[in-house]
Amino acid sequence: MMIATKALVKELSTLKDRSVRRAKGLFLAEGYNLIKDLDIPARMLLVTQESCLDGIKSSPTECYLVSEEQLSKISGTVTPQGVVGVYDIPDLSIKPPSSRCLVMDGVTDPGNMGTLIRTAVATGYRDVYLIDSTDPYAGKAVRASMGGIFGVNIYEGTAPEVISCLRSVGHDIAILDMAGNNIFDYKCDGDNVALVVGSEAHGISDIFRKNANISLSLPMDKGMESLNASVAGGISMYMLRYLNK
């Protein structure tokens, strides 16, 4: 195990910036519980003590010992969890979905982003398309995904590109909208649907409204007009996967 230099710590701390992440093709994942069971080996691991490596499934190419202060500078959290991994950002070019998929149309909150990705993995939505959304490889999004970032194929593109891709494989495009049909009344082939979750502030974009096959809503008691994007998306993913067939 090597000792991390100040230069290395400074270089890795720049990965907190989206433009740097994309330029270098690297992102950070933090925490022993997140990293230990990954099949994907890290480019490098940074640990506060050698025992942090115990039980980690995939051996990194490089491993460095750092202080808690150094790890905090790299991870950006006040109380780092002892292990930070550096991973490659995969190719984000759009490809057709293999089955049911999730589309995030202007989701800008990294916490919502990560939670939606986590739920997508849990419900078998292995392909996730992002349009005008926050960076899924930002630290907060990666942490909120609880490892889900490694369990989905993520693609980024424009709305026309994504719509064309979905239509090429015959997917139904289902948007979540307050004025839509009750999701409990919708019967579908859950393996052949693209669920679109819109912006927290503005909802679904006009282009998806015009190109959707179906508009769905979640019934709510009086006095509550809407749900958090990740909550609404999570409920809907489960509904379309398991109940509405």
Sheet holding 44-47, edge to edge: 2-3, 62-65, 44-47, 83-88, 26-30
What is the structure's pLDDT at 179?
85
What is the structure's pLDDT at 77?
74
- The fold adopted by the segment(s) 101-243 is Alpha/beta knot (3.40.1280)
pLDDT band for 171, please (50, 70, 90 cuts). very high
What is the domain partition of the chain in residue ranges? 2-88, 101-243
What's the whole-model pTM score? Answer: 0.92
Least confident stretch, 5-9, 154-158, 223-227: 223-227
pLDDT at 104 over 90: yes
- Residue 46 phi/psi, 5-degree rounding, is -120, 125
What is the structure's pLDDT at 68?
87
3-state secondary structure of 193: strand
Q: Could you say which DSSP state residue 241 is in?
A: I
| Cβ pair 197, 102 in contact under 8 A | yes
CATH of 2-88, one of 3.40.50.40, 3.30.1330.30, 3.40.630.10, 3.30.450.40: 3.30.1330.30
Segment 128-139 shows an average pLDDT of: 96
Question: What average pLDDT does the structure give for the chain?
Answer: 90
Distances in whole angstroms, Cα of residue 134 to Cα of each of 4, 18, 137, 150, 200: 31, 10, 9, 17, 12
Segment 87-102 shows an average pLDDT of: 95
